[in-house]
Amino acid sequence: MIESRTAEQRDARAGANGGEPTTEFPGRIPYDAYVHAGTLHSLQRTLSGDPGEMSFLVVSQIMELYFGLTRFELDEARTLIVKDDAWGALAPLRRAALDLDGLNAAWKALSWMTPADFNRFRDLLGEGSGFQSAAYRELEFILGLKTESLIRPFRRSAAYPRLVRAFEDPSLWDETMALLARRGKADWVQVYRDGDGPDNHLRMLGEALTDVAVAFGEWRHQHLLAVRRTMGAKPGSGGSAGIAWLERSMSRVVFPELWEARTHM
C-alpha cells in the first residue's frame, strides 16, 4: 500500500536525507507500487529470437495504453458536454489530442522495419492482428465510427460487454450535436459565424474536436504507411485484404459535419 505524504513531510524527509534521495524502504519500492513498472516490464514475451520482434511488441503495447488513455479523456469530454459544459470539455479534448500525438510518435520506433525484418517473426503471430484490439474499437466507437459487425470477434472475450455498451451509448459526436441543438444552433456554420471571441465556447469546442480528428486521422494514415512499408499489399494477419481494407476504413470520416461546414464558411 502507498502511504500518502504531505508537503511538510516531503520537506522533512529531504532535510533528513541532506538532499539525497531515499534509498531504504520497509517494503515495496513506492514507485513500483504506484506505476507497477515491474508488471509492465514482465509483459514483453516475444515468440522468436529475432530482436526486431521486441520493438514490434513494445510499440504495440504502448499503443494499447494510448488507446485507453485517449478514450478515457474523450469519455470525460463527453460527460461534460452532456452537462452543457462546453468550456470544461476543452481541457480533456486538448489532452486527448496530445495523447494522439504521442500515439503517432510511437510509429517512428518501427520506421526501420522492412518486409524482411517483419517476415522473420510474422508467421508466429498466427491470426493476431491490430484489428482485434478492443481498446481501439472503443476509441472508434466513442468518436462515432460505429460498425456493429466489428464487435463480433469479441463475443467470447471479457471485453464484449464493454464494447456492446460503447457501441450502444451515444458517441462524443452524438452528444456534441445534441449540445448544439440545445443551444439553438442549426449547424457548425452558424457557430463559427458567431465569431471567434472568448465567449464563443462552441467554436472553441469545434476547434478542439478538429484537433482530435486531425490527430486521429494522422494515426490512421501512419498505420497505413507502416503496413505498406512492412508488408506491401499482402493480406493481413487477421484475414483482411490488408492495405485495401485499411484504405476503405479510412474513408469513414470522424466528425463529418464539422468538416463539411468548412465548405460553407
Maximal C-alpha separation, the chain: 66
pLDDT value for 241: 61
Q: Which of 108-117, 132-141, 224-233 has the lowest mean pLDDT?
A: 224-233
Q: Could you report the per-residue pLDDT of 104-126, keeping only the tens digit for each?
A: 999 999 999 999 999 999 999 88
Half-sphere exposure of 198 (CA within 13 A, CB side): 0
d(CA 257, CA 261): 6
Q: How confident is the model at residue 127 (pLDDT cuts 50, 70, 90)?
A: confident
C-alpha cell belonging to residue 106: 510511437
What mean pLDDT comes out for the span 159-178? Answer: 97
Note whether 205 and 91 are within 8 A (CB): no
Q: Could you report the per-residue pLDDT of 169-223, keeping only the tens digit for each?
A: 999 999 999 999 999 999 999 999 999 899 999 999 999 999 999 999 999 999 9
250 alpha-carbon distance from chain centroid: 16
What mean pLDDT comes out for the span 229-251? Answer: 76
The beta-strand segments (E) located in 68-178 are none
C-beta neighbour count of 69 within 10 angstroms:
19
d(CA 68, CA 112): 26
C-alpha cell belonging to residue 83: 452537462
Domains and CATH numbers, the chain: 52-264 (1.20.58.480)
Sign of CA dihedral 75, 261, 136, 229: negative
Q: Could you report the per-residue pLDDT of 31-79, keeping only the tens digit for each?
A: 999 999 999 999 999 999 999 999 999 999 999 999 999 999 999 999 9
Helices of type H across 44-171: 52-82, 86-105, 115-122, 134-143, 160-168
Q: Is the backbone of residue 197 left (phi > 0), alpha (psi -120 to 50) or beta?
A: beta
